[in-house]
Amino acid sequence: MSMSLMRGPCIPMLIKMDHSYSAAELAEPKPNSRMKQLLYSLLLKLLHLLFTCAELVYGAVQRLMWQFSRVPVTPPLADICANGRQLAKRPEHLGVILVEKDICWQTLADIILWSTAYGIHYVSLYDRSGRVRAGAEQQLRPHLERRRRALFGAVPCTVSLVEGGAEPGPTANGHSGDGGGQYHVSVALLWEPDGVGDMVAAARRLCSEVASGARRADSIDRHMFGEQLRAAAAWPDPALAIKLGPVRALLGYLPWQLRLTEVLDAPPRRPLLYRDFHRLLTAYGGIQQRMGT
């Protein structure tokens, strides 16, 4: 009797335990698992869509508010020069990175002239596709001349447009910064091949010196490479770069020279207002650059 009681319930249990599953059955995900993956994927796409819509709505609202607000007049030259002298620090070289679809030529002209009044000797305009360089004579220069007359009047002010930034800029005494002397600024018109080309040229010069025996290969380091770049361009590295546009990327702007550059985003208002420019330079003055220490 005890034997029959033990065998009865044990037989189906043994059969169930001895059942072997195929590899396809083990690899096939369960319906619940597939459903969870689908839900997670839909949730991520929904969050991305909501975030994108929120950014678009915020940008549209800001543009409408600034469009209908009263636009203040640019201060006179003497006030702008005084603001420049009050800055905690100012960059010797100011970079402008264009990452927006449409170019506001008045904004570029104003940044160049305001920088000149602040005592900034070097300005570089970077556009990845070279639109600024292509439109320098037909677009940028007429805007510069019109805005220069409005701001500087009879005060001498010279703007030199340089392709690639290979030529030296003004000397230290080429700008008085007090509103009563000669103002001069060099403007480099850059696009994507310029940064890469400078690095290739510097590397070739170092290789030639090693091949001729003038330099040892083990003496080359990143500091020497940087010196080669600066010696070839005769321009200081940009200490501050102002980014115009909503794209969160630099799109190839001088990759080596950018290593110590502070990058600040300009407001989307076009044309850019003087107060926005002054706030950016004031914010730069409050940044402590530790240089990796």
pLDDT score recorded for residue 215: 76
Report how far residue 167's alpha carbon sits from residue 235's, in angstroms, rounded to the nearest whole number. 8
Report how far residue 264's alpha carbon sits from residue 249's, in angstroms, rounded to the nearest whole number. 12
For residue 280, give the 3-state DSSP assignment. helix
Strands, E assignment, 32-101? 93-98
pLDDT < 50: residue spans in the chain: 1-18, 70, 168-181, 293
Nearest to 243, CA basis, from 258, 256, 228: 258
pLDDT score recorded for residue 44: 87
Nearest to 96, CA basis, from 193, 275, 256, 240: 240
